[in-house]
A and B are shown apart, each in its own frame.
Chain A
Amino acid sequence: MNIFDILQFTLFVGVLTLLTPPLGRFIARIFEGQRTWIHRPFSWLERLTYRVSGIDEKKDMDWKQYALALLAFNFIGLAVLFFLQMIQSGLPLNPQGFAGVSWHSAFNTAASFVTNTNWQGYAGETTMSYLTQMIGLAFQNFVSAAVGIAVAIALARGIARKSTQGIGNFWVDLTRSTIYILLPMAFLLALVLVSQGVVQNFSPYLEAVTLEGAKQILPFGPAASQVSIKFLGTNGGGFFNANSAHPFENPTALSNFLQMLAIFIIPAALTYTFGIMTNARKHGWLIYGVMMMLFVVLTGASLASEYSQNPIVGQSGVMEGKETRFGIFNSILFSTVTTSASCGGVNAMHSSLSPLSGGIAIFNMMLGEIVFGGVGAGLYGMLLFVLLTIFLAGLMVGRTPEYLGKKIEGREMMMVVLAILAPCATILLGTALSSVLPVGLTSLANKGPHGFSEILYAFTSAAANNGSAFAGLNANTPYYNVMLGLAVLFGRFLIIVPILAVAGSLANKKISPPSSGTFEVDTSLFAVLLIGVILIVGALTFLPALSLGPIVEHVLMLNGRTF
């Protein structure tokens, strides 16, 4: 570590913290239906969306209607994206004449983009037409993020409201997050990224003659418009195969800084929004603080690992898989940002990170991506742990637990536990199965414990809706496309539906006034308990799997073993 590492880290944390309150306040106003300056240029688009789609924006939905609308929307999105990829060869804006995508890859990609995962078994610049990238993939980058925000807002409403069935209107929440929050931010960021060198055109690929006389074909496309929403929506799917390591996708240190900031900015702001909507601002800051603390500690550990010596190649801070303009520090910071959020964009190849840095990337995802996390998904994922903590604390002192005035009872806890366990089970079962089936093992690129880590990373990334990879694994096979496609669907909807059920059930309750026995949720004691619960659940569930992969690889590396 040097002085520039510390300066850049301080700048990153500082800018993020400064932007959190204003953006959080803005988001709250949008969803509480107040008029803001952004309505002047965009409110016609909101009204037009309702009219064209036949939406009654006054209707308040109960949780079942909300969930049904959400599932219907995602089902249609999945179907459209699936068929779009398969017939792209017959559609316009395909200057390279790419063929239709295979059914299994199309299913995997459709499931992955609809669920905000953006796992990619394909290579963008040699597979997808410009049209598929635009109306298929970039479109889902927007709306899958908007769905995440909608669910988090619905949960906040469930906590804030009393004695009612309604938790909001899914179509309104979807439209507002898209038009007032994601679209304007993506537009501005796209232009800044172009100013740094991210390409944005519809040109066919061009052939250059290099200085040494070789041919080199340069790929282009409408990349900046997609890359900006890829980060703001914590999607992470690269326009090009190398994702944000690609110089056309992330050309400078400044574009890199803005991309990392774009990943965290909305999830961070939502903690503040949550504080406003539930009238518990201090608690909102506490959630922010817990996230930040976990982030700083895990990033520090990852940096320490990467800067230590790899005795096999006799080098510390090995640059394999990293870009010169980012160096060690910005590669590692990006890796922890992208895995603690559910982004999955990468600016260095995670497979080539030191064993423990790669392990921390996996562990970040295993925790459920609650350290800022995906847009919306990070907040509602963290609130699952908050509810679990309150419940455990209630058990310890023998009182009915209460959260912000709402009694937490068996029904809610059942849903919370289901939502916490579903991704864990998906990760461990999927990894176990693929580690014994020959069809799972033939895709491995690395041998030894790193091969196991490739599989563990893949299922973790899928179930946590992250999308980054230990990309040596050849995942573009029928087996992995289908398995991981199912894993992303489980990891998304087995959390969202229980969350909405909790929201509905809490909305229905009365507010019980705080008494001397109420366990306060804005104290440092609560923060400590919350961190404890998060780490214990994560560690107990996953330590055995991590021991077989990154941890044993670290020990073997120190002993100089190669595979």
Chain B
Amino acid sequence: MLAIYKRELRSCFQSMTGPVFVAFLIAFTGIYFMAYNMMSGYPYFSYTLSGSLIVFIVGIPLITMRSFSEERRNKTDQMLLTAPISLPKVVLGKYLAMVTVIAIPNVIFCIFPLIIKSQGTAYLTVDYISIGVFFLLGCVYAAIGMFLSSLTESQIIAFISTFGLLLVLYLWDGILSMLPGSAMSGLVGVLILITVAAFYVWHMTENLVLSGGIEIVGAAVSIAVYVIRSEVYENLLSNLLGRLALANVFTGITSNNIVDVTGIALYLSIIAVFVFLTVQAIQKRRWS
């Protein structure tokens, strides 16, 4: 695992992606810092960070796009998969290297609140927590990007699909407000979600009984719940899918100074899920 981690990190800095990502993120944050904190005298660095979020959405796909797609195109994955090392370790090694790259600008960000403090009042706790959550959000995005990279052979497709998905997640609140709130539409939404899940299971396992079972049981339970207590479905979709607006946990800190601990748990579990899915996606390719 250490071997893969080291190689990945080195290759990230030998190619342009790593330095470009770090430089771009710091330059952008510097401009916001200048505008908000220095010129306007706003004492929270966290607010500045929320402006840099959009750079993450462009920058993270840049780091993650090569991770597995390039290995597959150059057939170097044959070397990794035939080496005496388990697949989860390969995936983790790569993921940790990306996390390290994301951590570099965040470590540098830690200087900014001190600059504010040297000029007057600073709110160090909020600022450092927001940097931590910002970093964690970057890790979530990286996990998603890595998963998408493992699905394709083309870096470009990996980049565009990751960028698109992250942009949708970024704009999720706006999209969500357009969803209907009635109980009936809630039921329809849940049925669609169950179908998508069943289709995914079928796609992964090609087991009709299992996926069909998930679909039928899921549909029966949700319809039964609808018949007995239809009020459960009211606004269910926006509540359920509202969780997907991942950046909300971060913006909650930056704009309201509220730290949502469940949100951090959500981040960690999403990371775990996507690392797991990446392993499964690679495993599946070996068997198909």
Binding between chains A and B: no
